[in-house]
Amino acid sequence: MTRKILVLPGDGIGQEITAEAVKVLEHLRREGLDLELEQALVGGSAYDVHGTPLPEGTLALAREADAVLLGAVGGPKWESLEIAVRPEKGLLGLRSGLGLFANLRPAILYPQLAGASTLRPEVVSGLDLMIVRELTGGIYFGQPRGVRTLDNGEREGFNTLVYRESEIERIGRVAFETAMRRGRRLCSVDKANVLECTELWREVMTRLAADYPEVELSHMYVDNAAMQLVRAPKQFDVMVTTNMFGDILSDCAAQLTGSIGMLPSASLDENGKGMYEPIHGSAPDIAGQGVANPLATILSVAMMLRHSLEAPEAAERIGRAVEKVLDDGLRTPDIFAEGCRRVGTREMGEAVVAALRQ
Ligand code: IPM
Ligand code: MG
């Protein structure tokens, strides 16, 4: 059966890094994986052509596809646009339009890159944690929202944090099942001491735990979780949290590894269809220079093979190929260290393909 993949390079370095990930997909296709690739515009580059960051044609192609590979969106060029047409709205529109409620963000420290973290090696070595972030609800999408003018003429900004039980339950199930496949420890992060909405979150997670007796569930307030992540991150196996807390904690977790250029992510719907993207942004400061690290995007392809294309062996091979190029000492500038060989985006991508050939 032919699997359709929609590639959305987006903005900034998105163009360069997805080009390398496509080389990996093309290689797998030559080996016999039945893939069909298509490309479309999203983000600022879509706004420039169509006046919207998420053209209907792009959303339609994404709906038809079995999986979507996204580079990154955004950049200074579009920062002064009104919020409704900013590049980020393209990303948020894809998430909600495709029902991608479950965001998996692993933070893994590669032993080859142990020196890249700003934390002491003994704190982070061997780190392997997974953040499961709710992605289509919470304060990101809650209504009402906006800026209004009060009777006295002063303006007031407001957003709404809202979760239905069913929304909490479905992300909870993804998290418990993820924990079952890993170390069977799940930490649910909330602010139940202050926010009623996350008091409900805690209650639903606790109820769900009865269905997963092998998983050890714990709860943590988000402020403490942020502190624990930098104090002793290896205490965590899987964390599950709301959209906004997950946004913040996943950046924190990424920095533990010191190499945000290495971390992939998956955003999944109810049926395992997904959008896959590196967790870093469009890095406008280095865009077009051919120095961006394509490995996070290539590792996103591995997640795609595992979660949406039922090709776990190919996913494993990509993981090993990435380890091989790191073992060989190839480094893009973001992960460069003394004694290694500095390479650009293209050379790194091609080295992964070469490692796959072996
Ligand atoms: C992320 C990003 C996005 C988010 C932005 C670009 C809308 O920070 O994927 O973490 O806030 O979700
Ligand atoms: Mg973020």
Structural domain includes residue 263: no
Q: What range defines the domain where residue 21 resides?
A: 1-101+269-358
The letter for the amino acid at 64 is: E
Closest residue to atom 2 of ligand 1, CA basis: 247
Tell me, yes or no, whether 211 and 146 share the same domain.
yes
The question of whether 48 is a catalytic residue gets the answer: no
Counting atoms of ligand 1 from 1, which one is nearest the CA of 247?
10
Which of 235, 258, 281 is the last residue before a domain boundary?
Answer: 258
Which of 258, 285, 318 is the last residue before a domain boundary?
Answer: 258
Exposed, middle or buried: residue 313 (CB in 10 Å: 0-12, 13-18, 19+)?
Answer: exposed
pLDDT in tens, the chain (358 residues): 899 999 999 999 999 999 999 999 999 999 999 999 999 999 999 999 999 999 999 999 999 999 999 999 999 999 999 999 999 999 999 999 999 999 999 999 999 998 888 999 999 999 999 999 999 999 999 999 999 999 999 999 999 999 999 999 999 999 999 999 999 999 999 999 999 999 999 999 999 999 999 999 999 999 999 999 999 999 999 999 999 999 999 999 999 988 889 999 999 999 989 999 999 999 999 999 999 999 999 999 999 999 999 999 999 999 999 999 999 999 999 999 999 999 999 999 999 999 999 8
The question of whether 151 is a catalytic residue gets the answer: no
- Angle made by CA atoms 299, 260, 7, in degrees to the nearest 5: 45
Determine whether the shortest distance from the Cβ of 66 to ligand 1 is under 6 A: no
Determine whether the shortest distance from the Cβ of 269 to ligand 1 is under 6 A: no
Among 91, 139, 244, 277, residue to substitute to test ligand 1 (most atoms within 8 Å of Cβ): 91
- Other CB atoms within a 10 A radius of the CB of residue 95 amount to 20
Structural domain includes residue 264: no
Determine whether the shortest distance from the Cβ of 91 to ligand 1 is under 6 A: yes
Structural domain includes residue 328: yes
For residue 72, report the distance from its CA to the centre of ligand 1, in Å: 10
Counting atoms of ligand 1 from 1, which one is nearest the CA of 246?
10
Tell me, yes or no, whether 223 and 121 share the same domain.
yes
For residue 135, report the distance from its CA to the centre of ligand 1, in Å: 10
Closest residue to atom 8 of ligand 1, CA basis: 247
Quick one: which H or E segment has residue 228? helix 222-231
The pLDDT, as a whole number, for residue 179 is: 98
